[in-house]
Chain A
């Protein structure tokens, strides 16, 4: 079946540090890949997505590239801010399916 594996947190970084959150996936077909973010006390929001191999999703300074050869979709940001502190979820969906399969989430804390 489909599954997503994320690096375990929490991840603690200083402001302006470089961020990488690893995500790898297992899927039977050619899935679409997503990153969602959850700020404290809120529901999840879509951060970025990629629907085919070699696509790069980007938003708010975050980027992730769909790598079919390594089945990965790592999230990166060049310079994190305190306001980026949140839980980040990697997710996938088969293109013909309805559901999203989420990873377990990675908590990020950015300190001033």
Chain B
């Protein structure tokens, strides 16, 4: 009964380093997405995918890459970390694709990233 699993829980990077935030779901959900949560800003959509091989940009995609080679996994890559990317990152998945007709978003517990 894992749901959405994010790893790692915490990460500290130096400016310019790269890393991948992992996200896996075991519910066979078509839709997966990445959000960042910043104080006073709420959640902002970075990238999303409506199925394996299909990805699209959200509100704040710059500095992030994604791929969706399988239904289960949706990793988020930071190619060259910047202090502005310090945030809490949430992966979320949903059965179906559209929010109104699909089920609710299922969130992971987040990855807290600090870039120094």
Q: Which residues of A are at the interface with B, using a C-beta cutoff of 8 A?
A: 32, 34, 36, 41-46, 49, 51, 89, 93, 95-105
Contact A44 B99 (CB under 8 A): no
Could you say which of B14-22, B35-43, B62-70 contacts chain A?
B35-43
* 9 other A-B residue contacts (CB within 8 Å) besides A34-B104, A43-B4, A95-B100: A43-B109, A45-B104, A93-B98, A97-B98, A97-B99, A98-B31, A99-B45, A100-B105, A105-B43
Which residues of the partner chain B approach A41 to less than 8 Å between Cβ atoms? 109
Task: Please judge, given known A-B contacts A43-B4, A43-B110, A46-B105, whether A104 and B40 are in contact too, CB under 8 Å.
Answer: yes
Contact B104 A42 (CB under 8 A): no
Which residues of the partner chain A approach B44 to less than 8 Å between Cβ atoms? 102
Q: Report B2 CB to chain A, min CB distance, Å.
A: 13
Q: Tell yes or no: B74 within 8 A of A by CB.
A: no
Task: Please judge, given known A-B contacts A51-B100, A104-B40, whether A98 and B48 are in contact too, CB under 8 Å.
Answer: yes
Task: Please judge, given known A-B contacts A41-B109, A43-B108, whether A99 and B42 are in contact too, CB under 8 Å.
Answer: no
Q: Which residues of B are at the interface with A, using a C-beta cutoff of 8 A?
A: 4, 31, 33, 35, 40-45, 48, 50, 56, 58-59, 90, 92, 97-101, 104-105, 107-110
Q: Tally of A-B residue pairs with Cβ under 8 A? A: 65
Contact B90 A100 (CB under 8 A): no
A96, A99, A102: the one within 8 Å of B48 (CB): A99
Contact A104 B98 (CB under 8 A): no
Task: Please judge, given known A-B contacts A32-B99, A43-B4, A93-B100, whether A98 and B107 are in contact too, CB under 8 Å.
Answer: no
Contact B58 A43 (CB under 8 A): no
Which residues of the partner chain A approach B42 to less than 8 Å between Cβ atoms? 89, 102-105
Task: Please judge, given known A-B contacts A93-B98, A97-B98, whether A43 and B92 are in contact too, CB under 8 Å.
Answer: yes
14 A–B contacts from the bound complex (CB under 8 Å) = A32-B99, A43-B4, A43-B90, A43-B109, A44-B43, A45-B107, A89-B43, A95-B100, A98-B56, A100-B45, A100-B99, A103-B42, A104-B41, A105-B42
Q: Report A35 CB to chain B, min CB distance, Å.
A: 11
